[in-house]
């Protein structure tokens, strides 16, 4: 399907599910080959929290991994874990040849900086691109794992045939896990990229002027009809738990009929992100198997 950004009346849904299924299928095929050769890919998710929704999310990764033939361990260090304990576990996992992918799950205990600890993750096993070195490699065009969510945004745009080169793209959000790496990946793809955030003076002006708007602000329904140019492609990375259930950073009802295309929440970027974590783990296992 090709998405155009000309005048329109219907907003196309940019589902992530078919792409996620395709990535999982290929990942499963490769995992089976590695498994048959006695090198079953293994992912370890390190947690240090008792936050229920986080632990639910981590278990969903483990289930998705199992479904494609990847072993997945949850290394639960508990909400009282010290910085040293987290660091030592990451170092041990780096050294373990049976472990191919490492995810350091946020949130971490108060006062612990994810980036400061993620520098410990071996870039070869850093399947969620959390080590700042992975981000730098990404910016420098060197091989390395991008944060899965950021890569999912680009893959989803490609899957739906949205051209990027020379297009004006506004990224709402500047986090080190989404907004910043998405901007870096899009620059590499020759887009003109504007990064907005909570201190931006005229957010609606910047988003309205864009061919493509990507929102990762963590603010439920931040982007409404006034923020979107007619026919623009809108990617909603937000997943906010509210009294109305899970809602995105985009007010889907408001932009319906204005945007040319919009990702659903859930079912848009999320499933692609999870599938890419698994794909990265198999790639890491493949490289380790040499």
Residues in the site for its own copies, rule: CB under 8 A? 115-116, 119, 131-137, 139-142, 165-168, 174, 176, 180, 183-184, 187, 190, 192-197, 199-202, 206
Shortest distance, CB of residue 176 to its own copies, whole angstroms? 5
Residue whose structure tokens are 């201190």 = 199
Strand partners for 240? 247
CA distance 23 to 26: 5
DSSP annotation of 106: S
- 107 upstream amide cis, omega within 30 of 0: yes
Residue among 39, 58, 43, 176 nearest 102 (CA)? 43
266: Cβ–Cβ under 8 A, 6 or more apart, which residues? 239, 246
Q: Which tokens in the block code for residue 204?
A: 């609606």
Q: What are phi and psi of 70, to 5 degrees?
A: -105, 130
Contact 223, 248 (CB under 8 A): no
Shortest distance, CB of residue 208 to its own copies, whole angstroms? 13
Give whichever of 172 and 235 is closer to its own copies, judged by the CB atom: 172
Give whichever of 1 and 201 is closer to its own copies, judged by the CB atom: 201
Question: Three-state DSSP class for 79?
Answer: coil
Shortest distance, CB of residue 2 to its own copies, whole angstroms? 19
Shortest distance, CB of residue 70 to its own copies, whole angstroms? 27
Shortest distance, CB of residue 215 to its own copies, whole angstroms? 15
> What Cα–Cα distance (Å) separates residue 213 from each residue in 15, 196, 224?
16, 11, 12
Give whichever of 16 and 173 is closer to its own copies, judged by the CB atom: 173
Shortest distance, CB of residue 186 to its own copies, whole angstroms? 9
CA distance 288 to 92: 17
Give whichever of 19 and 195 is closer to its own copies, judged by the CB atom: 195
Give whichever of 144 and 270 is closer to its own copies, judged by the CB atom: 144
Give whichever of 200 and 240 is closer to its own copies, judged by the CB atom: 200
Shortest distance, CB of residue 135 to its own copies, whole angstroms? 4
Question: Three-state DSSP class for 141?
Answer: coil
């Amino acid at each position: 399907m090709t998405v155009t950004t000309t005048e329109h009346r219907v907003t196309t849904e940019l589902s992530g599910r078919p792409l996620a299924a395709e990535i999982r299928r290929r990942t499963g095929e490769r995992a089976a080959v590695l498994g048959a050769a006695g090198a079953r890919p293994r992912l370890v998710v390190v947690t240090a929290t008792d936050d229920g929704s986080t632990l639910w999310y981590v278990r969903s990764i483990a289930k998705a991994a199992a479904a494609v033939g990847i072993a997945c361990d949850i290394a639960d260090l508990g909400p009282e874990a010290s910085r040293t304990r987290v660091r030592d576990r990451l170092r041990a996992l780096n050294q373990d040849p049976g472990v191919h992918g490492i995810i350091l799950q946020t949130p971490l205990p108060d006062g612990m900086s994810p980036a400061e600890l993620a520098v410990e993750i071996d870039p070869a096993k850093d399947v969620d691109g959390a080590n700042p070195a992975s981000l730098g490699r990404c910016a420098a065009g060197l091989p390395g794992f991008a944060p899965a969510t950021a890569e999912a945004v680009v893959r989803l745009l490609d899957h739906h045939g949205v051209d990027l080169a020379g297009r004006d793209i506004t990224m709402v959000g500047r986090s080190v896990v989404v907004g910043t790496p998405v901007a870096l990946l899009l620059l590499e793809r020759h887009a003109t990229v504007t990064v907005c955030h909570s201190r931006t003076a005229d957010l609606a002006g910047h988003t309205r002027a864009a061919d493509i708007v990507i929102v990762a602000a963590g603010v439920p329904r931040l982007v409404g009809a006034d923020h979107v140019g007619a026919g623009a492609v809108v990617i909603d990375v937000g997943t906010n738990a509210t009294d109305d259930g899970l809602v995105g950073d985009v007010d889907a009802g408001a932009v319906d009929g204005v945007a040319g295309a919009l990702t659903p929440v859930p079912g848009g970027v999320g499933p692609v992100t999870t599938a890419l974590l698994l794909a990265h783990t198999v790639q890491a296992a493949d490289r380790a198997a040499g």
